[in-house]
Each structure stands twice: as C-alpha cells, then as structure tokens.
Amino acid sequence: MPQNKQIHLDNRPQGEALASNFKLVVSETPLLKEGEVLVQHHFLSLDPYMRGRMNDAKSYAQPQALGQTMGGGTVGEVIESRNSKFAAGDKVVGMGGWQQYSVVDADQIGALRKVDTRHVPLSAYLGAVGMPGVTAWYGLVKIIEPKAGQTLVVSAATGAVGSAFAALSKARGCRTVGIAGGPDKCKYAVEELGFDVCIDYKLHQDATSLSRALKEACPAGIDGYFENVGGMILDAVLSRMNAFGRIAVCGMIAGYNGAPLPMTYPALILMNRLKVQGFIVSEHMEVWPEALKELGTLVANGTLRARESIAQGLEAAPEAFLGLLKGRNFGKQLVKLI
C-alpha cells in the first residue's frame, strides 16, 4: 500500500487563519478490509465553509478535529477494490479530505459515487457539477423561486457557486447581476459566464456607494439575492430589494475570521416583507439528482464554462485556501494532487 501525504489541522486560528495552523504528515495507507476501496485523489476541493470548521464553536457542522486530516471533497480513481460495486479504474467523487489517498467503506451510503467523465471533466464534479453547483441550484430554485423577467443578484459572482448561479438564472429568463472583486473578474462574469452586468465592489468604499451602483444595474429593483459574503454588500443589496423579495443565505465569508457582521438597516426585512432563508445543501440530498442532471447538461453543452484556479501539489493547499478566503482565486479553487 502506498505512503500517504496528509494535511492535518494542527492548531486553531486566533482570528485570521494562517499557514501555521496546518501540518503536513506522512502515514502508511492501511490494508483494505472487505467492502473497502482505495482511492487515489486527482483533485481536492477548497471551499470557504472549511474556515468555519477550523473553529471550535457552535456551527452547522462539527469542528474539524485537531491532529486529523482536514475534511474536503475529492475526485479520483479507484486503484484497488474489495467491494463488488467498484472496480479499479472507476472515477469517483467523495469526501476524501486533504490527502493523496483515502480508504473508503464503499458500502456506506453517500461515501463514494461513480462519475462519468466522457462529457464532463473530472474536476467539474467538485465545482459546477458538484456541491457548489447544487448549492447554487437549491438557493435559486427552492428559495428564490425565480420567474422570467425578474432581477436576481449574486455576490462572489465568479466563484464556483456564482458561476453556476449565472447559468441557472439565465436559463430561467432572469436579468442576472453579479458582484465580484476587480475588473478582470467582472469582465469574465459578463463575457464568459453570461451575467448581464457585474459590479466591482472594490470600487466602492461603503454600502451607500455600492447601493447606487446596484440601482443603476437593477433599475427595476432586486427580486432575488443569493448571499455569499455579508457585511457591506448585504447592506447595499437590502436597500434595493423589492417588496416580497427572496434572499438565499449560503455564506458570510466577510465574517469567517470571527468579526461580527452587523446589519445597518435590518428593518428593511420587515418593511419589504422579505423572505430570508439560510440553508446547508447537504441537508437536501433529495434534490441532488435533479440538480446534477441540469448542471451536467449545462457543462456538457458549453452553456456553463466555469473557470478553475488550480494549485499544484498537496503542500500548496494551505496557501491556496488562505488565498481563497481573501478572494485571490479566479473561479473554483482546486488542488491537483497527481
């Protein structure tokens, strides 16, 4: 069995996450038991939710244990199997974590899923045709419930979730406005992802200024908002929401280092009778088949052309993750492990 490089959470952040919170270790891969498979990971997914799990605090997920391999989504190939459902050479997606190999009990429901790479690249199963894509689908379809002609807005517009949101929203006939950081990302959002407009939040020092830009981009107001960031951006969007608008709250990356995120005018929720709903996509597994079918079609036919930022090698994962938290990635952040 091969030696396995892993990255553990060595200590918890005090405020901002640092590379020193992580530790690279090498271990022996255990021999397979009946029902298990050995997977060699090709790509590791890095996602903002991982920052919250680094804290020992109440959250929707258990904190990441110290001295254990960081959790995370992976895609790869079965290289040895003692399970009749999987054979060597199968391409699979699972939660293998920050490591080169994983031994998986393949009889455990949801632990491992075969994927078809004939029309969809393997890496896309960690992005557009994976958890981020389904996240966008659920927030849009089940919470925002769009109607053709409505105006929808998404923050972190060029990330994995925002990219999928654009394709899904445009497919439903909606005016789709993105918020992203920097001219290159905004240009990509419009020219490649299909956004009608993308606002560069870095050009705005406060919510009032950003609200004026939103008024110009959304002359009919905002009917639905997909929230990934919080803080100033949420304040600005709230000021432009239409009555009976819907807000799907997916993430609050502006507060992931522990700083509070006060809302300036929460009374707008009442005044405009807004629906504001947070959600965790892993709690809605019943929608995954329908969502993945639509997302896979959009990728296969070229409608959804999500960009990827790829760091090389497991050792690069901590710095790539810290860059993700600061918005340095362009599209879905992955680590290539082979």
Q: At what angle do helices 288-300 and 131-138 cross, to 10 degrees?
A: 110
For the chain, give the mean pLDDT: 95
Q: Which of 79, 82, 78, 108 is nearest to 93 (CA)?
A: 78
pLDDT at 11: 97
Domains of the chain (ranges; CATH) run 3-127+307-336 (3.90.180.10), 131-282 (3.40.50.720)
| CB-based contacts of 267-275 (< 8 A; 24+ apart in sequence) | 268/238, 268/239, 268/241, 269/238, 272/241, 272/242, 272/243, 272/244, 272/245, 273/243, 273/244, 274/238, 274/241, 274/244, 274/245, 274/246, 274/247, 275/143, 275/244, 275/245, 275/246, 275/247
As a three-state string, the secondary structure of 116-133 is CCCCCCHHHHHCCCCHHH
> How far is Cα 325 from Cα 311, in angstroms, rounded to an integer?
15
- Please give the pLDDT value at position 254: 83
Q: What is the pLDDT of residue 58?
A: 73
Q: What is the mean pLDDT of residues 35-51?
A: 96
To the nearest 10°, report the CA torsion of 108, 110, 112, 116: 140
Mean of the pLDDT values across residues 87-97?
97
Question: Above 80 in pLDDT, residue 144?
Answer: yes
34 to 6, 242, 260: CA distances (angstroms): 24, 57, 48
* pLDDT digits 0-9 by tens, 131-143: 999 999 999 999 9
pLDDT tens by residue, 184-229: 999 999 999 999 999 999 999 999 999 999 999 999 999 999 999 9
**Burial 93-129, CB ≥16 within 10 A → b, else e:** bbbbbbbbbbbbebeeeeebeebeeeebebbbbbbbb
> What is the model's pTM?
0.90
